[in-house]
Amino acid sequence: MPLILATSFAELKDIFLMQGFAGFSLFAVFLLMALGLAIIFGQMKVINMAHGEFLTVGAYVTVFLSHMVTDHAPKMLPYYFPVAIVCAFVVAFILGYIVEIGLVKYLYNRPLDTLLATWGLSMILQQACRSIFGAREDTATLPDWMMGSWSPSEGLDIPINGMFLLALAIVMVVLVYFLMYRSRWGLKVRATMQNRAMAGAVGINTKSVDRITFALGCGLAGIAGAAFTTIGSVSPSAGSLYIVDTFIVVVFGGAASLLGTVLSAFTIAQSQSILEFFLTGVLAKIFVLVGVIIILMIRPQGLIASKVRK
């Protein structure tokens, strides 16, 4: 009897570990998506419903590059992925820059209106993807080194693409942290977002700060898109599937807090993937969402938020 218990306990531990690592991939995607949104929504208070489409754009850039490489330079296949990440970032960044100039800059004081306008934008971007790339799902050819899995012990399989995603997410978080909280430019951004008039008065070019901040958030979504191709296939509506989750991650973390975003992405991804083992995927998602909503009611300011004098 104790023996049976012991084996099943060991199995349970393995299950937890495996589901835990599966959760890490989900965590990485959530985190990459949420990073951009934490800047755009958390700092700029723009409700960008088209954020998912920037992911789609980044993913298509990667897929396109992978086709180019397999068709024309198959030898380069092991190395193209880092280039694809940079390209995804650049394309999404430029697109975001244009969107800021053409649309978002007129709506800074009307947060709920940004929601409607960017919903319109997301329809346009989705249809554009459909017209250019077709409605069919498409996949990127992954370099060999990203396939397969790593088994540190028997019964444990950790997929390499998952680890790669996690590493990428961590690198991006560190980069964003230094950019936003340790650099001169980040100081300008935070000053502008907290008091646009005052920042302008002390000589900050707030318009340029707005443009670049928004574009940066979009660029990060582009990177998330590139990362997304390692775990799934791309379709024009791929990004929109994640938009609700991403907003929940950012809101749950406490809109303006980077640490909060990381913690909340981790909590949501892990509880979802561990619950998934016991329930169906959909039920797990419902449970997690309901839990998040209840916690948000108890702490409306999110996980990490400082008490302030208002």
Partner 1 sequence: MHTLYNRALGGKSGTVGLALLCIVLFLVFPLSLDNFRLNMMSKYLSYAFVAVGLVLCWGNGGILSLGQGLFWGFGGYCMAAFLKLEAAHNIAAESGSDQIRALTTVGLPDFMDWNQITSLPYIWYPFKSFPLTIILVFLVPTLLAYIIGTAMFKRRVGGVYFALITQALCWIMEISFVTRQGWTGGINGITDLRTCLGWDIRTKSAQITLYFLTSIFLIACILVGRFILSIKLGRILVAMRDGEDRVRFSGYSVSKLKTFIFCVAAAMSAMGGALFVLNVGFMSPKLVTIEPSIYMVIFCAVGGRNSLIGAVYGAILVSYGKTYFSEMFPNLWYFLMGGVFILVTRFFPDGLAGAVDRFGPMLGKKIFSMIGRAQQNFPAVVPVTIEANEGH
Partner 2 sequence: MSAAAELEIKDLTVSFDGFKAVDNFTFSVEHEELRVVIGPNGAGKTTLLDLICGKTRPTGGSIRFKGRELSKMQENSIVRQGVGRKFQTPSIYPKLTVFENLEISFPRGRGIWGSLFFKQTDDVRERINEVARDTYLSDHLHTSAEHLSHGQKQWLEIGMVLIADPKLMLLDEPVAGMSVRERQQTADLLKRICKGRSVVVIEHDMNFVKEIAHKVTVMHQGKMLVEGSMDEVQANEKVREVYLGH
Residues that bind partner 2 (CB under 8 A): 306-310
Residues 197-256 that bind partner 1 (CB under 8 A): 244, 247-248, 251
289 binds partner 1 (CB under 8 A): yes
Collapsed DSSP state (helix, strand, coil) of residue 218 = helix
Q: What share of the chain is helix, strand, coil (3-state, %, to 5)?
A: 75, 0, 20
| The Cα angle at residue 249 between residues 246 and 255, in degrees rounded to 5 | 105
Binds 297: which of partner 2, partner 1, none (CB < 5-8 Å by kind): partner 1
Nearer to partner 2, 75 or 310 (CB): 310
296 binds partner 1 (CB under 8 A): yes
With beta carbons less than 8 A apart as the criterion, state whether 190 and 184 touch: no
Nearer to partner 2, 153 or 306 (CB): 306
Instruction: Answer left, alpha or beta for residue 118, where phi above 0 means left and psi between -120 and 50 means alpha.
Output: alpha
Minimum CB separation of residue 203 from partner 2 in Å reads: 24
Determine how many CB atoms are found less than 10 A away from the CB of residue 46: 28
With beta carbons less than 8 A apart as the criterion, state whether 139 and 229 touch: yes
What whole-number distance in Å separates Cα of residue 306 and Cα of residue 191? 17
CA quadruple 129, 133, 137, 142: dihedral, nearest 10: -110
Binds 309: which of partner 2, partner 1, none (CB < 5-8 Å by kind): partner 2
CB neighbour list of residue 69: distance below 8 Å, 6 or more residues apart: 76, 77, 80, 141
CB neighbour list of residue 195: distance below 8 Å, 6 or more residues apart: none
Residue type for position 180: M
Nearer to partner 2, 4 or 308 (CB): 308
Minimum CB separation of residue 114 from partner 1 in Å reads: 8
131 binds partner 1 (CB under 8 A): yes
Nearer to partner 1, 3 or 297 (CB): 297
What whole-number distance in Å separates Cα of residue 18 and Cα of residue 155? 9
Q: Which tokens hold the place of 1?
A: 């009897």
Q: How many residues bind partner 1 (CB under 8 A)?
A: 41
116 binds partner 1 (CB under 8 A): yes
Nearer to partner 1, 91 or 121 (CB): 121
Site string for partner 1, 92-111 (x = CB under 8 A): -----------x--xx--xx
Minimum CB separation of residue 309 from partner 2 in Å reads: 6
Site string for partner 1, 41-70 (x = CB under 8 A): x---x-x-----------------------
Binds 307: which of partner 1, partner 2, none (CB < 5-8 Å by kind): partner 2
Residues lying near partner 1 in the complex (CB under 8 A): 41, 45, 47, 103, 106-107, 110-113, 115-117, 119-124, 126-128, 130-131, 244, 247-248, 251, 280, 282-283, 285-286, 289-290, 292-293, 296-298, 300
